[in-house]
Each structure stands twice: as C-alpha cells, then as structure tokens.
Amino acid sequence: MGRTDPGAQVRLDDQKLQVDGTGRFIFGFGRDAKDTAELRVIFPNEDRSVRRLSIKQRKYSVQRIQGLPRRMVTPPKAAMRRIHEEAKSIRKARAIFTPVVYFAEGLIWPTKGKISGVYGSQRILNGRPRRPHLGVDIAALAGTPVLAAAAGIVTLAQGDLYFTGGTVIINHGHGLTTVYSHLQSIGTRVGALVSQGQDIGTVGSTGRSTGPHLDWRVNWFQERLDPMLMAPPVRSNVE
C-alpha cells in the first residue's frame, strides 16, 4: 500500500494504478515476478518521481499429495469445457475494480486450524507435477465457520466448482480480492456487502481435496499474492 498526493498519476511499469481521493494506492507481486519494477509518479504540479523496486525471489518447497481421484489430477476431456468456463468466471471476478478501500483495515485469518499447505509450493499430485499452490491451506474440522478476512462485496459464490468446490470471492477494493475454497456450505450471495469477521460459509472438502480444509487466497487483479504476508503472524492462527 502506498500514498501520494491526491490527483497524482501512478504507474507500475506499464500499468496505471488507481489513486483514491486521499492519495492511497496498492499493488502486488506474484510468485514469478521479475527482479525489478519501476514505480513512476507524476504529481499534480507535474513534478515527477521514479523509484526502481528490487524484488527478491524466494525459495519454494515441494509438496507431494497422494490419494486424489484420477479425474481430479488429469480431468477427462468431457470436463474440460466446464473447467474452462469456471476459470473464466473466476478471472472475471478477480478483474473487477471498485473504488472502495475496505482493504485499508487489514486482513484477519478467515478460520483457525493447522497450516497444511503454503503459498508457492510446487505440487506433485499422485506423482504428477502440477501448478504451484498459490494460497494457504488451513486444515480444520468440517463445518468450522469461515469468516470474511475484510469487509467487501461478494463477486462470486458457487457451491460446486470442479477444482475448488464451494467457492466465495470477496472484492475489497482497488482490485484486491480474497478467495475461500472447498467450502462445505456457503452463507452469502453475489452482491452482498459483508463485514470483516462475518460468517460466509463453513470448512469442507469439496472439489479437489483429500480432507477438510480451507484454501485461502489473496489476489491483486490477476496477481496471486501470499496471504501469510498480509495477515497477522501465523502463531495467532494455529489452534
């Protein structure tokens, strides 16, 4: 999160960033970001500022998961159209810009439990390499309440997506969204304004899952961010 003069123009490389009436703006870097980025600001008086940002690459672990149904590792051709359509819906929900700044209150953990999967880890599913995991898995009992990490507007609430099962996406403003997957039940609807800490569903094991857990993700538009860098220290979340 950054601040500048209200009315300033801000660009991250070639992308224009939205600046609110108080000068607040946000941006984020995903798992495979480049080593550097350039942040340029043109102030209302036409003065300019350029900052070159250095981005340090992290080392990511490898996580091996066994026991998944074959169709969840290598989906049949008959399921591919459904998977592509669901992916389009998720990208559309992440692409929405709203001028609200609910993200400014910070994020809380959406549920309590054991961290069973971390951001960025390379996934080996039933012995087959697959895409890295881009969220945090929180193992908990089925039916455990799931809370909104911050206030926002629900932009997706689906009970049975192929890979993520019961899924909710909440928009917190300026392209920042949180995603809650594998839900057993959903307690909200698209268009609802939820408050931070409000019940939005329950932990489940729907979609591609080997046991009850919440897959929690944070995005800035299409960039997948590490939730553990944005929430309170993990010790406060572990039961």
- Give the pLDDT of residue 126: 87
Give the whole-angstrom CA distance, residue 206 versus residue 204: 6
Q: Name the residue with tokens 């969204």.
A: 177
- Give the pLDDT of residue 153: 97
For the purposes of burial, counting CB atoms within 10 Å of the CB of 18, is it exposed (0-12), middle (13-18) or buried (19 or more)? middle
Mean pLDDT over 155-175 rounds to: 96
Q: Where are the alpha helices (DSSP H) in the chain?
A: 70-73, 77-95
- Three-state SS for 55? coil
Mean pLDDT over 221-234 rounds to: 91
**Residue 120 corresponds to which tokens in the numbers above?**
């960025």
Whether 237 has a pLDDT exceeding 80, the answer reads no
43 and 4 Cβ atoms separated by less than 8 Å? yes
In SS3 terms, 21-49 reads as CCCEECCCCCCCCCCEEEEEEECCCCCEE
pTM for this predicted structure:
0.92
Mean pLDDT over 58-73 rounds to: 86
Residue 195: closest CA among 166, 162, 170: 170
The dihedral over CA atoms of 18, 19, 21, 24, expressed in degrees to the nearest 10, equals 120
Give residue-wise pLDDT tens across range 101-136: 999 999 999 999 999 999 999 888 888 888 889 999
- Give the pLDDT of residue 238: 53
Q: Name the residue with tokens 């108080």.
A: 22
